[in-house]
A and B are shown apart, each in its own frame.
Chain A
Amino acid sequence: MSSSMLFNVTMVVYMVSTCIFFAFLASRNKAVGLAGTYAALFGFLVQTAAIGLRWKESYDQGHGHAPLSNLFESVVFFSWTIVLIFLIIDFKYKYRAIGFFVIPFALFGMAWAQLGLDSGIEPLVPALQSNWLMYHVITCFLGYAAFAVACGISIMYLIRESMEKGGGNAQAGGLLSMFPSIRILDDLNYKAIMIGFPLLSLGIITGAAWANYAWGTYWSWDPKETWSLIVWFVYAAFLHARITRGWVGRRAAILSVIGFAATIFCYLGVNLFLSGLHSYGK
């Protein structure tokens, strides 16, 4: 058994989980929603095993490093953290409909990694040979994942709000009936960002600490650094908007979606379109 096989299983399970969540929205049967969560949990466990196995494989090949060193590994890890944050919020609040808007992010990640990215295990280049790599990558990606979940929730908010304005069929039934109310969605959006913002802050701080340790400068306005700061500014604005009249609800949801778009650009766009210190993430 290889990690690559397990990653394929993970991808299929996330697809199944997405379908079950859709069936849940259509059938409004609580047991189906629970099945969707269990499918996601199963996929998460398989993926955890796969990441562990890949780690071991890297030792078997004589490289011996955590699987966090190139684009393939980071996309896989990103999808793992998204499911982790989703499961935490799911077990805490039990609003199963969110799964349909969040698990697809993890599914896209796995599908892209497995089908479109080079999965070879490469040895670490000198710049990455540091324990800071783990602290930095783990905190950043947990933060990104929380923002992904917040984005999914915000999309639900925007859909539900516009439908309610349109005809108010939420009460009457349809796919919307399994959505949490807009007040709860607004609150969950806030809660997910409350998880993400501290983690992003820690990610930026550990990145700065590492940069200072390796290059002698904790901040050099490299595109990646700048974009992480842009993301930080957007969510800081979001948090301040919460306590300002007129910025709760729709505007907060839009800010959250913009924030996630900036996050994705920070993660992928910077590596693919701009040049800088994080070029090994290509």
Chain B
Amino acid sequence: MTTTNKRGFAQEVWDFFCSLKLSIFLLIGLALVSIIGTVIQQGPQREYLATLSETKIRLYSALGFFDMYHSWWFILLLYLLTLNLICCSIKRLPRVWKVVSEPVLVMDDNFEKSLATVKDLKLKGSKEELKERMAAFLRAEFAAPVITEKDGEYHLFAQKSPWCRLGVYVVHLSIIVIFIGALIGSFAGYKAYTNIPEGGSVSQVQTQSGKMIPLGFEVRCEKFSVSYYDTGAPKEFKSILTVVENGKPVPGYQSRAIIVNDPLTYKGITFYQSSFGQSDEGSLYHLTVRDRKGGAPVHLDARQGERVALPGGAFLSVMEATMDVRPFMRGFDGPGAQVEFTPAGGNPQPFVVLSDKYESFNAQHGGDLLITFDGMDQKFFTGLQVAHDPGVWVVWFGCFLMVVGICMAFFMSHKRVWARVTDSGVTLGGSASKNPAGFEICFDDLVEKIGKA
């Protein structure tokens, strides 16, 4: 009694995981819960958290909503889906495999009744002749037949693309392969980020979780440059990188340009152009100051924030500057600086100065002095995304399998034709795994051709 109960329970669990209802429930459930993470900011920033109430923050963190796609319950749903599709496949694959590997060679009366498309043909000739004729016909027009003799009748069987029935299982397998690839990536790979100032180099990078990972070599940033379209929109971010190993530049990896959409890979570690910024250290700003009443212009050099004394007792400091003002000021180009000007005995005045091309613009400020910004020796740092993912090829293989599987499952049909040959004629039967209406046309076409043959 207990054993039956146990088996009954096991059977119930098995049936539960094999059920298509579970698949539909999981797919729709995953779709619904996935919405949460697109509405609530993931890895939230302080500004975002400030907009939420205390209770909400506590609730969201308890439920894992701030890193929802890695929360235990989301991962659990993914595992359940995987388990579900494995069980479904195990349950159904043997049956389908049997259809593919052990086709029904003989169309008897019962089987004939189960077919939607059947046609009786009255043909002249002995059954041997008809058998040869039908075999040649099927070989030419459909597929090479298997001939079986049974109870004094000849049975011919021919089929096209039987393996396309396995397409569904190829898709299921592909999903498992993609998951495996993702797991390999999350355990054996890392995503990291690094900033390298121009002329500087790094030998380790920091992962998202804050761990430092040694690269095993050094990456030096020779130069970074950014260019803009006339509209002020960015055109290209470019870093010139050199890989240095054991103190020497690696041949082929010297002064390599990397841009967005064109990364650098060395020893399985890839460096992607991600961001950039102005390096605080080392920027030197050049300005020219001229008295409006005349006199020789004075050239000045200033570092960021440094208070520089001007002729006549005023002071000037450069707050920030750029070599190209187009992204910030429409209709202007060239270098520009945000400065703070303190007239002798007055209050500080912030304003923008541009190059000597815009004399009238610059003349709006500065009292007796005309200040122009000549440019700067600026240093950038380049921000690089660093990734090492040994699972990525497994993922691509999974994607390839998925495409192949979907094509097999959606666009191909297992077509079968049986012919029973007796002395009084031929009975033709057919079936297709998909698109019965389309197969009927193809079947009628065959029947018509036999009449003419």
Contacts and interface: CB of A to CB of B under 8 A. Distances in A.
Interface of A: 122-123, 125-127, 129-130, 132, 194, 197-198, 201-202, 205, 208-209, 212-219, 221, 223, 226-227, 229-230, 233-234, 236-237, 240-241, 243-244, 247, 262, 270, 274
B407 A198 contact: yes
Interface of B: 20-21, 23-24, 27-28, 30-31, 34-35, 37-39, 42, 69, 182, 191, 229, 231, 233-237, 259-261, 263, 270, 272-274, 385-387, 389, 392, 395-396, 399, 402-403, 406-407, 410-411
A164 to B, nearest CB: 22
Given A123-B233, A126-B261, A240-B23, 19 more contacts: A122-B231, A123-B229, A123-B231, A126-B273, A194-B410, A201-B403, A213-B263, A216-B387, A217-B387, A226-B38, A229-B34, A233-B28, A233-B31, A234-B28, A237-B23, A237-B24, A247-B24, A262-B31, A270-B38
A132 B261 CA distance: 9
Contacts, number: 109
A227 B69 CA distance: 13
- The 3 A-B pairs with the shortest beta carbon distances in the complex, nearest first, are A216-B387, A233-B31, A237-B27
A244 B431 CA distance: 21
Contacts of A247: 24
Nearest to A131: B261
A244 B24 CA distance: 9
Nearest to A216: B387
* B interface: dominant SS: helix
Contacts of A127: 260-261
A89 to B, nearest CB: 14
Nearest to A259: B31
A237 B29 CA distance: 10
A233 B406 CA distance: 15
Contacts of B28: 233-234, 237
Name which of A215, A270, A274 has the most chain B CB atoms within 10 A of its CB: A215
A216 B263 CA distance: 9
A208 B37 CA distance: 19
Contacts of A274: 38-39
B392 A218 contact: yes
B406 A126 contact: no
A135 to B, nearest CB: 13
A221 B34 CA distance: 9
A218 B386 CA distance: 13
A155 B106 CA distance: 45
Nearest to B269: A216
A276 to B, nearest CB: 8
B261 A227 contact: no
Nearest to B270: A216
Given A209-B396, A270-B38, A274-B39, A230 B261 contact: no
A241 B24 CA distance: 7
Contact of B261 (A213, A218, A223): A213
B438 to A, nearest CB: 10
A212 B403 contact: no
Name which of A127, A233, A241 has the most chain B CB atoms within 10 A of its CB: A233
